[in-house]
Amino acid sequence: MSIVFNIMEDTRGLWRVCREDVSVLEDLSFASAIRHARQLARDMHAAARVTTKVVLSSPEYEVILVQHARPADSSEPWQLDNESAAA
């Protein structure tokens, strides 16, 4: 299972964050849309232990901005090693 958060520009030049076809947040600046989408993906990844992605979408292109992968062996306890994260 994978959860994708899409960042899309609306007709007024503002940005929105969508999950599938449902708008989660609207009327954002570009930087704010990226920040909120990344936080949503991080939170969902931590809570549901699923792969999450943030994708910048337009009719011409899609760019993956971040992807949080599910652990290879999901039966193992999930913990971030602070020493390796600081490196």
Give the tens place of pLDDT for each residue, 6-45.
999 999 999 999 998 899 999 999 999 999 999 999 999 9
Average pLDDT for 54-76: 83
- Alpha carbons 28 and 15: distance in angstroms, whole number: 5
Structural tokens at position 64: 């993956």
State the pLDDT at residue 81: 42
Average pLDDT of the chain, as a whole number: 85
Band of residue 72 on the pLDDT scale cut at 50, 70, 90: low
CA 20-43-29 angle, 5° bins: 65
Count of other CB atoms within 10 angstroms of residue 47: 8
Domain boundaries, the chain: 2-72
Measured CA to CA in angstroms, residue 73 lies from 10, 34, 46, 49 at distances of 39, 30, 15, 11
- Alpha carbons 56 and 83: distance in angstroms, whole number: 31
